[in-house]
């Protein structure tokens, strides 16, 4: 029996685009949306149509051209936003209106200057209004992890009663920690009377480096939609990285027992395309898609990998679309890796010759952070007469 299905809601084109410096032109957004469709995300959040005329056009273009995913866009809880958002997405194969509304006391007091009672009424009104356009409505109380738990559950009940099909718990400021977030999700399932078969979703930020951990904790408690972005881009420290969430669910399926429809071998290509479009590259040690994610320098690891890749790789690079593991030759490299490299470039050496080459190579490597394989080539060639 395949495990429960988890819906992957990608918000690279909305929250991701809110990363400083990640603004995209309408055609760039469409190009990325096409790749997200190939990657197999279930829902693409295309943008915030009310924010500008260009954004409206970009969202509408995606809604018209991408047919393999649901297309969502966000609206604040007001009729003018909902009208404009619907106008942008209505031609999508499956359009979704995503209504956001501040919910925590901090936001109500300082940003909105409204009471909890008023928020309940605005929720009811805005969801009911959006319902006149479509039944595919998602409602997100913002800053849910700093919101009174019982008020949060009442708010979700009101939204569901008014017609929301999906309700989303947003850790807008990245405040949650995994055990507590898991408990919150389980509390919501217990205390939201009408949750029934409605989809419970989560949206996590990485301010404490916990976005992916919180997302996985929520999956353990039974949410069926997770929001993420490619390379983890997004406001401030970013969102949960799609590639990390998906590969954790896949690699540790023994633990999570859930399925997504993501085509894993498209992950690297999608990551690269986003970097190309935004000019923002990922750090080398970034999980799954960083330049070093499948690079090995330590001699013990290189030796193990040459014998069997499962020794030091829990996933293959090919499974995420990276052609091969990379051996970094440096001061930590061992005999097995260096011999293997020498044979790859066409030489056969005996033990004594390998000793000489290794001594010469390491004399230099110890002083160099990034020694190139070309240097090893040169040493091998210098020793060629003996070889
Ligand atoms: Mn966000």
* 3-state secondary structure labels for all residues of 41-57: CCEEEEECHHHCHHHHH
- 143 C-alpha vs ligand 1 centroid, how far in Å? 9
Highest mean pLDDT among 17-21, 287-291, 339-343: 287-291
Q: Which is more confident, 330 or 43?
A: 43
Average pLDDT over residues 79-101: 98
- 357 C-alpha vs ligand 1 centroid, how far in Å? 54
Three-state secondary-structure class, residue 284: coil
| Domain assignments of the chain as residue spans, ordered by start | 4-278, 295-382
Average pLDDT over residues 368-372: 74
**What's residue 373's pLDDT?**
74
**Residues 17, 46: Cα–Cα separation, whole Å:** 10
Structure tokens at 361: 């190579």
- 195 C-alpha vs ligand 1 centroid, how far in Å? 23
- 235 C-alpha vs ligand 1 centroid, how far in Å? 6
Average pLDDT over residues 354-375: 83
Beta strand pairing status for 7-10 and 225-228?
A: parallel
Backbone angles phi, psi at 247, to 5 degrees: -75, -25
- 172 C-alpha vs ligand 1 centroid, how far in Å? 5
Instruction: List the CATH code of the domain at 4-278.
Output: 3.20.20.70
Beta bridge partners of 227: 9, 203
- 142 C-alpha vs ligand 1 centroid, how far in Å? 9
- 234 C-alpha vs ligand 1 centroid, how far in Å? 7
**What's residue 386's pLDDT?**
61
- 78 C-alpha vs ligand 1 centroid, how far in Å? 19
Average pLDDT over residues 112-138: 97
- 350 C-alpha vs ligand 1 centroid, how far in Å? 59
Least confident of 132-141, 172-181, 233-242, 340-349: 340-349
Are the beta carbons of 13 and 226 closer than 8 angstroms?
Answer: no
Are the beta carbons of 342 and 360 closer than 8 angstroms?
Answer: no
Average pLDDT over residues 372-387: 76
Q: Which is more confident, 107 or 376?
A: 107
- 287 C-alpha vs ligand 1 centroid, how far in Å? 21
| Residue 247 scores a pLDDT above 90 | yes
Q: How confident is the model at residue 385 (pLDDT cuts 50, 70, 90)?
A: low
Are the beta carbons of 243 and 230 closer than 8 angstroms?
Answer: yes
- 313 C-alpha vs ligand 1 centroid, how far in Å? 32
**What's residue 185's pLDDT?**
98
- 225 C-alpha vs ligand 1 centroid, how far in Å? 15
| Residue 235 scores a pLDDT above 90 | yes
Break the chain down into helix, strand, coil percent, rounded to 5.
50, 15, 35
The predicted-structure confidence for 27-79, as pLDDT tens digits, reads as follows 999 999 999 999 999 999 999 999 999 999 999 999 999 999 999 999 999 99
- 326 C-alpha vs ligand 1 centroid, how far in Å? 35
The predicted-structure confidence for 256-279, as pLDDT tens digits, reads as follows 999 999 999 999 999 999 999 999
Q: How confident is the model at residue 246 (pLDDT cuts 50, 70, 90)?
A: very high
**What's residue 298's pLDDT?**
87
- 345 C-alpha vs ligand 1 centroid, how far in Å? 49
Mean residue pLDDT across the chain: 94
Q: What is the widest separation between alpha-carbon atoms in the chain?
A: 87
Residues near 21 by beta carbon (within 8 Å), at least 6 away in sequence: 278, 279, 280
- 270 C-alpha vs ligand 1 centroid, how far in Å? 21
């Amino acid at each position: 029996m395949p495990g429960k299905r988890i819906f992957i809601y990608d918000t690279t084109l909305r929250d991701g685009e809110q990363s400083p410096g990640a603004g995209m032109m309408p055609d760039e957004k469409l190009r990325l949306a096409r790749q997200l469709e190939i990657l197999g995300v279930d829902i693409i959040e295309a943008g915030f149509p009310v924010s500008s005329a260009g954004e409206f056009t970009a969202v509408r273009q995606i809604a018209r051209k991408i047919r393999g995913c649901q297309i969502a866009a966000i609206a604040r809880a007001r009729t003018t936003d909902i009208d404009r958002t619907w106008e942008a997405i209505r031609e999508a194969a499956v359009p979704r209106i995503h209504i956001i509304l501040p919910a925590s006391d901090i936001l109500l007091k300082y940003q909105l200057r409204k009471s909890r009672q008023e928020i309940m009424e605005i929720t009811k009104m805005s969801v009911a209004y959006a319902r006149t356009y479509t039944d595919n409505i998602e409602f997100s109380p913002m800053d849910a992890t700093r919101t009174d738990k019982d008020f949060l559950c009442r708010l979700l009940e009101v939204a569901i009663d008014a017609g929301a099909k999906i309700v989303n718990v947003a850790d807008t400021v990245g405040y949650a920690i995994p055990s507590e977030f898991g408990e919150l999700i389980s509390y919501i399932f217990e205390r939201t009377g009408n949750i029934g078969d409605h989809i419970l979703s989560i949206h996590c930020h990485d301010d404490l480096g916990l976005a992916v951990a919180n997302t996985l904790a929520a999956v353990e408690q039974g949410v069926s939609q997770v929001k993420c972005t490619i390379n983890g881009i997004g406001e401030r420290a970013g969102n949960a990285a799609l590639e990390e969430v998906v590969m954790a669910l896949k690699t540790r399926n023994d633990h999570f027992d859930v399925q997504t429809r993501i085509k894993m071998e498209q992950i690297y290509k999608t990551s690269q395309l986003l970097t190309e479009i935004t000019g923002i590259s990922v750090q080398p040690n970034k999980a799954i898609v960083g330049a070093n994610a499948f690079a090995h320098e330590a001699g013990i690891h290189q030796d193990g990998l040459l014998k069997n890749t499962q020794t030091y790789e829990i996933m293959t690079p090919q499974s995420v679309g990276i052609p091969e593991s990379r051996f970094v030759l440096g001061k930590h490299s061992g005999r097995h890796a260096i011999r293997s490299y020498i044979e790859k470039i066409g030489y056969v050496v005996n033990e004594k010759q390998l000793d000489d080459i290794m001594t010469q190579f390491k004399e230099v490597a110890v002083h160099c952070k990034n020694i190139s394989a070309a240097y090893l080539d040169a040493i091998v060639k210098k020793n060629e007469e003996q070889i």
